[in-house]
């Protein structure tokens, strides 16, 4: 353990400081495709009983009309966090009839590209903006790729946390906001250095259905007549089969500081891309993308972690970050664990807290140009494709190191962070979350990715058939434990309220869509960055 990590852990272990550390918040966004009775993508509209996808705080849609996104509130405890996620699943199952939630990151059986329905958010200008943005994604990346699902883990420290662990060299007159932003960005640097470990431990998408590729070239092997895979892959979702295109290839912000990160994204959402210019924004009288820039909006930049700030109504995320700084981080690389009813459990959630605490407390030097940043990206891509390969070596500071050796060293350091969290909360759950991870490093067959491949081989079933069977079992569990009483009434009130809010937006809006898009683009102004 580094001297810096040790000293910061000691500082936080003081009784007065433990309480501040205990006020961490975590929330979950879980995506799931709705599928029909044969495990194929549901072509039905977003069920009205779930509420309006545009305005509901807990149940919305992502890319496709069939891609649900289930969102918890932020919680300080892991049990209430997972309980809320289970409750949302229970309510959803009461409203989707015979349909099933596909509990896997790689998609179910998909129809032809043209038949995958894009999410609809109503006729208001903001609803149309969301829809047209998704039309642009279809052109830029293809619809099938946008049907990939995952779990996003939102995490924050209390604002009083950062002054407790000062950073050497910080200007004495540095504002609280700038200090907090700088330290979150330092956390993100370390996350990028070490997130390959999460892919090894929790990646659960080593295989996929053949029709996902829709004829695109690939380097996958064939497991059976309908299933493609890589023998040592952990997460094909996070590989170059996932969210990739040529325009984004040059967008690799290394998170040395927030202004530079914002400037890179600002350039991307303001700079036209020749191929997109040729395609245009309106065809046959219909909007096909919001603009012809490298990114239509900030959220189009796909990364394994994002700095975040809750934006005000109508406020661009870049402006929110520029004006008020980083509020929390969004971890975006976690696969759905298909063996778990909601795709994640408390053990994983507790380990993520310990991992993120380690990333926050460990020394986080700046990335040199062409240095650690690219090496970290290469380590990540190596693990998502070859993570369980015997004897696999990664690149640490320009030197080869066995994945197993480095993983155990990291787990030793994370163990110290977990022990502190146990003392903060008066429990043993955080330390207990480490043991299963050590076991996975010692025995790769215990990883979710290996378990998925073993289940496919032993069952003799295709990826499509096996994952549908697993998803159907989870559906039976939730349908056997439906929402009732006050909980059901609460969800129905939220659904009714969301419909009323969407209708009000549609009724009260002024101006046409072109004016709305122009005003939204103008909201990018970042002062000196503009």
Phi, psi of 488 (to 5 degrees): -65, -45
What's the mean pLDDT in 56-80?
Answer: 97
CA dihedral 85, 349, 317, 301 (to 10 degrees): -110
Q: Is the pLDDT of residue 530 over 90?
A: no
Give tens-digit pLDDT for 494-525: 999 999 999 999 999 989 999 999 999 988 86
Kindly report the CATH number that applies to the domain delimited by 3-529.
Answer: 3.30.590.20
Q: Residue ranges of the domains in the chain?
A: 3-529
In three-state form (DSSP H/G/I as H, E/B as E, the rest C), the secondary structure along 287-301 is ECCCCCECCCCHHHC
Give tens-digit pLDDT for 42-64: 999 999 999 999 999 999 999 99
Chain centre to alpha carbon of residue 202: 13
Q: Residue 120: its pLDDT value, please? A: 98
d(CA 264, CA 259): 9
Q: Which two tokens stand for residue 428?
A: 């043993």
Q: Residue 370: its pLDDT value, please? A: 52
* C-beta separation of 204 from 335 below 8 A: yes
* C-beta separation of 107 from 41 below 8 A: yes
What's the mean pLDDT in 243-249?
Answer: 65
pTM to 2 decimal places: 0.96
Phi, psi of 524 (to 5 degrees): -75, -15
Residues in contact with 395: Cβ distance below 8 Å, sequence separation at least 6, in sequence order? 375, 378, 379, 401
Q: Is the pLDDT of residue 389 over 80?
A: yes
Number of Cα atoms under 13 Å in the Cβ half of residue 222: 5
Nearest to 174 by CA among 184, 164, 185, 163: 163
CB atoms within 10 A of CB 379: 25
Q: How far are the Cα atoms of 53, 66, 94, 508 from residue 56, in angstroms, in the given order?
A: 6, 16, 17, 18
């Amino acid at each position: 353990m580094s001297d810096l990590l040790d000293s910061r852990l000691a500082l936080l272990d003081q009784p007065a400081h433990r309480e501040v550390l205990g006020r961490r918040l975590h929330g979950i966004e879980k995506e799931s495709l709705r599928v029909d009775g044969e495990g194929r993508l549901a072509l039905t509209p977003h069920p009205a009983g779930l509420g309006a996808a545009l305005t509901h705080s807990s149940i919305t849609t992502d890319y496709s009309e069939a891609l649900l996104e289930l969102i918890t509130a932020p919680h300080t405890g892991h049990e209430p966090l997972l309980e809320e996620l289970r409750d949302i699943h229970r309510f959803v199952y009461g409203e989707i009839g015979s349909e099933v939630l596909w509990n896997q990151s790689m998609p179910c059986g998909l129809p032809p590209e043209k038949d995958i329905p894009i999410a609809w958010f109503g006729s208001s200008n903001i609803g149309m903006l969301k829809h047209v943005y998704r039309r642009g994604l279809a052109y830029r990346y293809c619809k099938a790729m946008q049907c990939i699902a995952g779990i996003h883990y939102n995490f924050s420290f209390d604002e009083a946390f950062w002054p407790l662990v000062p950073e050497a060299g910080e200007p004495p007159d540095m504002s609280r906001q700038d200090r907090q932003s700088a330290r979150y960005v330092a956390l993100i640097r370390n996350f990028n250095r070490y997130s390959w470990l999460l892919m090894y431990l929790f990646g659960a998408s080593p295989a996929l259905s053949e029709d996902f590729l829709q004829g695109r070239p690939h380097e996958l092997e064939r497991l059976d007549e309908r299933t493609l895979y890589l023998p040592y892959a952990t997460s094909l979702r996070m590989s170059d089969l996932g969210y990739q295109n040529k325009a984004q290839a040059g967008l690799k912000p290394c998170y040395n500081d927030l202004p530079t990160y914002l400037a890179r994204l600002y350039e991307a959402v303001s700079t036209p891309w020749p191929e997109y210019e040729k395609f245009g924004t309106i065809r046959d009288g219909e909007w096909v993308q919001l603009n012809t820039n490298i990114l239509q909006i900030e959220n189009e930049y796909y990364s394994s972690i994002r700095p975040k700030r809750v934006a005000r109504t109508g406020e661009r995320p870049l402006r929110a970050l520029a004006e008020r700084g980083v509020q929390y981080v969004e971890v975006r690389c976690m696969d759905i664990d298909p063996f778990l009813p909601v795709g994640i459990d408390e053990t994983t959630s507790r380990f993520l807290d310990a991992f993120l605490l380690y990333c926050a407390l460990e020394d986080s030097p700046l990335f040199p140009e062409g240095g650690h940043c690219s090496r970290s990206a290469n380590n990540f891509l190596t693990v998502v494709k070859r993570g369980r390969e015997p004897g696999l070596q990664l690149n640490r500071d320009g030197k080869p190191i066995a994945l197993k050796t480095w993983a155990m060293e990291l787990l030793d350091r994370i163990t110290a962070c977990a022990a502190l969290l146990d003392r903060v909360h008066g429990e043993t759950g955080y330390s207990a979350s480490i043991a299963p991870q050590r076991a996975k490093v010692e025995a790769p067959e215990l990883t979710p990715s290996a378990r998925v491949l073993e289940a496919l081989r032993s069952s003799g079933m295709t990826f499509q058939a096996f994952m549908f069977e697993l998803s159907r079992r989870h559906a039976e569990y939730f349908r056997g434990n439906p929402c009732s009483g006050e909980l059901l009434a609460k969800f129905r009130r939220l659904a009714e309220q969301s419909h009323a809010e969407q209708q009000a937006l549609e009724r009260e809006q002024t101006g046409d869509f072109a004016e709305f898009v122009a005003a939204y683009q103008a909201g990018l102004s970042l002062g000196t960055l503009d």
